[in-house]
Amino acid sequence: MLPVLSLIVLIPLLFSAFAFLTKTREQARVVALMGTLITLILTLYMYFSFDSSSAAMQFEEMASWIPSLGINYHLGVDGVSMPLILLNAIVIPLLILFTWNDVRSASNRFYGLILAMQGAVIGVFISLDFFLFYIFWELTLIPLFFMVNIWGGPNKRHASMKFFIYTHVASLVMLLGIFGLYFAAWDQTGVANMGITHLVSQFPMIGSGIARDAIFLALLFGFLVKLPIVPFHSWLPDAYAEAPTAGSVLFILLKIAGYGIFRVILPMLPATGTPDMMITILGLLGSVSIVYGAFLALSQKDLKRMVAYSSVSHMGFVTLGAAGLVTLSISGAMFQQFSHGLILSIMFMSVGVIQASTGTRIINDLGGLATKMPKLAVIMMLAFMASLGLPGLTGFIAEFMVFTFSYVNVPTFVILALFGVVITAGYHLWAMQRTMFGVYNGKIGEVFDLSNVQTFSMAVIALLVLYFGLNPSPVLDMMITASNEIVSLMAAMGV
Amino acid sequence: MAYENLAFLIPLLPALAFAITFFVGKKTPYGGGLIPIFAIAASFLISLMITIGLLQNPDQVISQSYHWFAIFNLGILIDPLAAVMLTMVAFVSLLIHIYSVGYMSHDPAKSRYFAETSLFTASMLSLVLSDNILQLFISWELVGLCSYLLIGFWYQKPSAASAAKKAFLTTRVGDVMFLAGIIVLFADLFKLVNGSIPDGVYLLRFDEIFSYIPEIAAMNATILGFEVSHLTIITLLFFGGAVGKSGQFPLHVWLPDAMEGPTTVSALIHAATMVTAGVYLVARTFPMFIAAPQSLIIVAYVGAFTALFAATMGLVMNDLKRVLAYSTISQLGYMMLGLGMGAVVGAEAVGVSIFHLISHAFFKALLFLCAGSVIHAVGTHDMRELGGVAKVMPITAATMVAASLALAGFGIPGTSIGSTGFFSKDPIIENAYLFGEHAGNWFPYLFAIVAALLTSLYIFRLLFMTFAGKPRTNYGGHESPASMTVPLSILGILALFFGAIVVEPLNKFVSGTFVNNFVNMDIPALAEVGNYELVHHAGHEPLLIQWMPVIVAIIGLLITFVIYYQKAIDMSRFVSKDNVVYKLLYNRYYQNEIFTRLFAVRFVYEGLAMAGYHIDRFIDGIVNVISYLTIEAGDSFRKIQTGVIQHYSVAVITGVSLLVILIKLVMEVF
């Protein structure tokens, strides 16, 4: 059988190299589009032959790599990773189309980095070996760092360094956790094995509760910073806001931290020394992020920073849903990752268009754009409505599931989080009113609406938001199967 | 009954009309108006045929369910309650769409208008025929979206954009309560089925929910030291949603501002249909309310208070549409009061309240459309600039009079002569009297009677100021085209004669909505769960009580006649900035200052959000301090970088040894 998983990582990386080797922007964008389209076709092939009712790893590939250390080249997908791979495979070609005529930033290196990023992110999702996982995990840092550092806004140096160091330190803490788990399991079984599933299953065997907590918290810290969750979020507004539009979208597609929570954190949680405390941490930080992020978004004057904070707020649903600990709350959290990736991509693209067209992102300097940019107004309205959780669009499905099913186990945090809902509606509508509606602000000068490629790429994502909002089952069913498996793993660990 | 197979088309056809009009509306006849009209006409016909079929067999309701996602379904439930609502919504929407062809003919964006009104109609119809609370909530949010889009239809106007936002946010407060109600309800149901839901069972479907009512009522929670039934909590949270949507106090503040949208939108969404969704929600989940201690009483109080409170403000407004907006709030209060009176009359309250809802839909849509006709012709909605309009617009004036008589509730008690509004409002007030007599609590009745007096005052003030006398400015004007006057005349006839014909059968039909093949609720038994004592009322109130609502309406008419027609009383002493009462009313009890300036701007934005902003600066500061300290430390460590190989090797060896010892130690701990 076709080693399709290896291919969807190698093809972006290979085309990334091609893109770096090209001479001009025009060549690079064609190379990039080809690479991502091949990846998309392979991913769609995988998606359509994927068995949603099976919790087993599918398309598995396994080869011995460093036998003495128990490191294997082990790949596979299940319902946790498949939707996220699909998300990346769909949005990135559209992102390349979106930047098709963006002369200001796009160059061959630019496209090379986008492709490298795609390979690295997909790599994280399909690695079933911690060693491989960590390599890809760290690899994602590099394209993003350069993306911000080279093509970022006025404050790009500070933002890129801050992002790099902050999340890198967190990754190192996570690495310590991985080592702790690895050595402890080695000690326990006498066999070296870096396999993720293996190590997670060995976790309860570790004798000391404190050691289990320490390992768990180290891993959790790595994921929470990357997600990010309040109070570890302060790298995000700078990085998201300073990044070029494509960079912000890549940040949004970087769903590896949430993935880690489902893959590693949840199955281990019941076996920690103090599971109740861990649940409280997840739930509390989740609902605090939702509310706090919403208030912060409300206080922003820069449209892009507002969107960045809305992302913090949305990520709260991932940990809140995880803390719910029932199949459907976990599926809701997974769906939130998928939904958020689509919605925020359009929102960042909209902000990018506004900035390119008007030269500003300051909300109060805008106004009345809908008259001049009707196409943008429609798509942006849809994205904003999806982001504030309007039914019929993906955001609602995720939020409704997280709220409803988490309430069964963590009612207090759900009630707390519900206060964020009105504020969330508030900042979205407020921003919409100030930028798109009202009298056209003459000081802006001449503006232009979306180009055809921009309309195409944004409209496709918008239609997906609508489609999966009306019919979430095509991705939700596999998430439910996977969540069921996680819940039974947790049960096996014994709460 | 072959029509039941077409039931799914009722919301689907307008939804398709939306999609077509949205993309290619500009190229279709009447700027996109024709396709929605045909779609809604079809929906209306199907609804009507289903209703006629259901009238033969009221206990054989239409119920269809389809799996949607996870453990949720989409479905159709057309019982008597839904059937009459569907027919009314489709009918009023159809008339207003026809009227809009004329009204919006000069607007360049009319295809967007028709797309959005079609989407609204689809969502509203879906709301009405939902067989589960989730689908109802979803449609509830979608009608809210359409309301937002249509209030802000002329988005270039800052006041319209601002009103749209205010409407969305205020109702959102209610929506969150509604959502919280669903969440708590689900958690309780989940507990009652022990966490395992059999395949094909949809817990949020009304039949499932209703079957667990006694169990949920038995669950108690302690809130602030009070033992409260879970059912009371859930129903009050639902009611919170209804308060937002149906403009009840204190979440009514958005509705007057919503008049920034086109007048047809005010008629369709903010008078006849969407704002009644809250009333419909309470009616739909009535078996829960009647089993929930205190809930119905609170519904009654809020309704009665709103009816009065809004009417006082309606008295002093000078804008045609704003008077009508306050009137709508007030009438919605009556509907809520009507439902709350279920505390004494049981399921009959649903029939009474829904009948007032239907009757109000006719006469209030008519009032708005008449106002629209005037505004369309003369270009102003300030009553002080009007006067004498009856001469130039006789049809509009005649239908307006019909609608006003219905709103004020003119009729002869004890006979079958009376306007539709008389037959719908009177039973509510009578039930309130019964409640007073029975429970010894006269507030709902008093509020309702005083509100009836004020209703008559504000509507005849409007009528006299606008249509009678001589023009106060030179506004020109002409009668509106047939596409506008025909819907007016149809509604006018309904406002006058509909009630007398259908009141008895319709009340009975809708009141029986909880006994059929879908659910079979024993309302009196549930009332015992909720501690309500039901009484059989035989209509034996004293004659004076029967006549009271009509008497106050006549008094109102006479007073306004003397003041605004004969001008026998000088109102300038009252209508001045020095009069405290007038100032209070005119400034709408300073609600805007309290809600918008004080709460939204000062507290939420300048208080909480800005506090968050500074906290975040602080958190960011900590991160920066840590990085600064690290750099400083790095600088001092730089001195170690001597460039001498020996130093480095010593450092490496020490480091490695320390690491090995550390790992060993860690292993020991494990």
A 10 A CB-CB count for B642 gives 9
CA distance A368 to A358: 12
Q: Which two tokens stand for residue A315?
A: 């990520």
Q: How far is A235 from chain B (nearest CA, A)?
A: 8
Q: How far is A172 from chain B (nearest CA, A)?
A: 16
- CB of B401 closer than 8 Å to CB of B463: yes
Please tell me the least confidently modeled range out of A59-63, A153-157, B472-476.
Answer: B472-476
**Residue B638: pLDDT over 70:** no
CA distance B16 to B90: 15
Q: Which residues of B169-193 are buried (b: 16+ CB within 10 A; e: fewer)?
A: bbbbbbbbbbbbbbbbbbbbbbeee
Chain B contacts in chain A segment 12-31 (CB below 8 A): none
Query: How confident is the model at residue A36, as a pLDDT?
Result: 95
Q: Which ipTM score applies to this complex? A: 0.92
Q: How far is B669 from chain A (nearest CA, A)?
A: 7
Could B156 and A392 be called an inter-chain contact, meaning their C-beta atoms sit closer than 8 Å? no
pLDDT band at B380 (very low <50, low <70, confident <90, very high): confident
Give the contacts of A97 (CB within 8 A, at least 6 positions apart): A33, A453, A454, A456, A457
A484 touches chain B (CB under 8 A): no
Could A433 and B165 be called an inter-chain contact, meaning their C-beta atoms sit closer than 8 Å? yes
Give the 3-state secondary structure of residue A219.
helix
* pLDDT tens by residue, A195-223: 999 999 888 888 788 888 889 999 999 99
Average pLDDT over residues B98-105: 86
3-state SS, one letter per residue, for A135-190: HHHHHCHHHHHHHHHHHCCCCHHHHHHHHHHHHHHHHHHHHHHHHHHHHHHHHHHC
Beta-bridge partners for B62: B78
Query: How confident is the model at residue A313, as a pLDDT?
Result: 93
Cα-only R_g, chain B:
30
Compare all CA atoms of chain B with the CA of A473 and give the residue at the minimum distance: B69
If you average pLDDT over every residue of chain B, what do you get? Answer: 86
Q: Which two tokens stand for residue B563?
A: 């003041």
Using CA atoms, how far residue B508 sits from A113, B129, B206, B228, B575, in Å, is 71, 20, 21, 33, 46
Could A408 and B176 be called an inter-chain contact, meaning their C-beta atoms sit closer than 8 Å? no
Query: How confident is the model at residue B537, as a pLDDT?
Result: 66
pTM score, whole prediction: 0.91
CA distance B347 to B86: 20
Query: How confident is the model at residue B639, as a pLDDT?
Result: 66
- CB of A298 closer than 8 Å to CB of A423: yes
Nearest to B231 by CA among B285, B280, B194: B285
**Residue B1: pLDDT over 80:** no
**Residue A366: pLDDT over 50:** yes
Backbone angles phi, psi at A108, to 5 degrees: -60, -40
**Residue A429: pLDDT over 50:** yes
Query: How confident is the model at residue A230, as a pLDDT?
Result: 84
Please tell me the least confidently modeled range out of A50-64, A269-283, A438-452, B341-355.
Answer: A438-452
CA distance A37 to A8: 11
Q: What stretch of H or E contains A377?
A: helix A374-387
Beta-bridge partners for B130: B76
**Pick from A183, A210, A429: which is nearest to B169 by CB?**
A429
* Torsion, CA B20, CA B21, CA B22, CA B23, rounded to 10: 60
Q: Which two tokens stand for residue A475?
A: 């991705």
Could B158 and A440 be called an inter-chain contact, meaning their C-beta atoms sit closer than 8 Å? no
Could B183 and A407 be called an inter-chain contact, meaning their C-beta atoms sit closer than 8 Å? yes
**Residue B257: pLDDT over 60:** yes
CA distance B570 to B580: 18
Q: What percent of chain B has pLDDT over 70?
A: 97
Strand boundaries in B550-624, DSSP class E:
none
Distance between first and last Cα of chain A: 40
Beta-bridge partners for B63: B77
Compare all CA atoms of chain B with the CA of A182 and give the residue at the minimum distance: B667
CA distance A9 to A28: 19
**Residue B80: pLDDT over 50:** yes
pLDDT band at B246 (very low <50, low <70, confident <90, very high): very high
Compare all CA atoms of chain B with the CA of A295 and give the residue at the minimum distance: B609
**Residue A397: pLDDT over 80:** yes
**Residue B418: pLDDT over 50:** yes
Q: How far is A9 from chain B (nearest CA, A)?
A: 32
A467 interaction partners in chain B (CB closer than 8 Å): none
Please tell me the least confidently modeled range out of A480-494, B79-93, B329-343.
Answer: A480-494
Q: How far is B155 from chain A (nearest CA, A)?
A: 5
CA A271 to chain centre: 27
Nearest to B99 by CA among B85, B83, B117: B117
Which among A216, A233, A325, A404 is the top mutation candidate for probing chain B, defined by the most B β-carbons within 10 Å of its own β-carbon?
A: A404
**Residue B284: pLDDT over 90:** yes
Using CA atoms, how far residue B623 sits from A237, B483, B630, in Å, is 13, 67, 11
Compare all CA atoms of chain B with the CA of A441 and give the residue at the minimum distance: B156
- CB of B175 closer than 8 Å to CB of B140: yes
Query: How confident is the model at residue B641, as a pLDDT?
Result: 66
Please tell me the least confidently modeled range out of A238-247, A284-293, B139-148, B494-503.
Answer: B494-503
Average pLDDT over residues B409-434: 87
Give the contacts of B461 (CB within 8 A, at least 6 positions apart): B315, B323, B560, B563, B564
Query: How confident is the model at residue B565, as a pLDDT?
Result: 78
**Residue B441: pLDDT over 90:** no
* pLDDT tens by residue, B519-564: 888 888 888 888 888 887 666 678 888 888 888 888 888 888 888 8
Contacts by A164-171 with C-beta closer than 8 Å and gap 24+? A165/B627, A166/A225, A166/A232, A166/A234, A166/A235, A166/B623, A167/A141, A167/A225, A167/A226, A167/A235, A168/A138, A168/A141, A170/A221, A170/A222, A170/A224, A170/A225, A170/A226, A170/A232, A171/A134, A171/A137, A171/A138, A171/A141, A171/A222, A171/A226
CA distance B159 to B146: 18
CA distance B425 to B451: 11
Helix%, strand%, coil% for chain B, nearest 5:
75, 5, 20
Average pLDDT over residues B394-414: 88
Nearest to B492 by CA among B370, B378, B394: B370
* pLDDT tens by residue, A439-485: 887 777 788 888 899 999 999 999 999 999 999 999 999 999 999 99
* pLDDT tens by residue, B447-498: 999 999 999 989 998 888 888 878 777 777 778 888 888 888 988 988 888 8
Could A390 and B142 be called an inter-chain contact, meaning their C-beta atoms sit closer than 8 Å? yes
CA distance A176 to A184: 12
Query: How confident is the model at residue A105, as a pLDDT?
Result: 63
* pLDDT tens by residue, A277-321: 889 999 999 999 999 999 989 888 899 999 999 999 999 999 999
Give the contacts of B196 (CB within 8 A, at least 6 positions apart): none
* pLDDT tens by residue, B318-338: 888 889 999 999 999 999 999
CA distance A402 to A419: 15
Query: How confident is the model at residue B666, as a pLDDT?
Result: 64
**Pick from B71, B138, B176: which is nearest to A392 by CB?**
B138
Q: What percent of chain B has pLDDT over 90?
A: 35
Backbone angles phi, psi at B346, to 5 degrees: 70, -145
Q: How far is B446 from chain A (nearest CA, A)?
A: 36
Residues in chain A: 495
pLDDT band at A415 (very low <50, low <70, confident <90, very high): very high
Average pLDDT over residues B619-648: 74
A417 touches chain B (CB under 8 A): no
Could B627 and A295 be called an inter-chain contact, meaning their C-beta atoms sit closer than 8 Å? no
- CB of B363 closer than 8 Å to CB of B403: yes
- CB of B314 closer than 8 Å to CB of B327: yes
Amino acid at residue number B8: F
Helix%, strand%, coil% for chain A, nearest 5:
75, 5, 20
CA distance A114 to A111: 5
Sign of the CA dihedral B93, B166, B380, B366?
Answer: positive
Which among B133, B605, B616 is the top mutation candidate for probing chain A, defined by the most A β-carbons within 10 Å of its own β-carbon?
A: B616
* pLDDT tens by residue, B567-579: 777 777 677 777 7
**Pick from A235, A408, A421: which is nearest to B190 by CB?**
A408
CA distance B378 to B478: 8
**Residue A495: pLDDT over 50:** no
Compare all CA atoms of chain A with the CA of B153 and give the residue at the minimum distance: A437
pLDDT band at B599 (very low <50, low <70, confident <90, very high): confident
pLDDT band at B669 (very low <50, low <70, confident <90, very high): low
> Is the link from the previous residue into B481 a cis peptide, with omega within 30 of 0?
no
If you average pLDDT over every residue of chain A, what do you get? Answer: 91
Could B156 and A371 be called an inter-chain contact, meaning their C-beta atoms sit closer than 8 Å? yes
Q: Which residues of A263-287 are buried (b: 16+ CB within 10 A; e: fewer)?
A: bbbbbbbbbbeebeebbebbbbbbb
Could B608 and A295 be called an inter-chain contact, meaning their C-beta atoms sit closer than 8 Å? yes
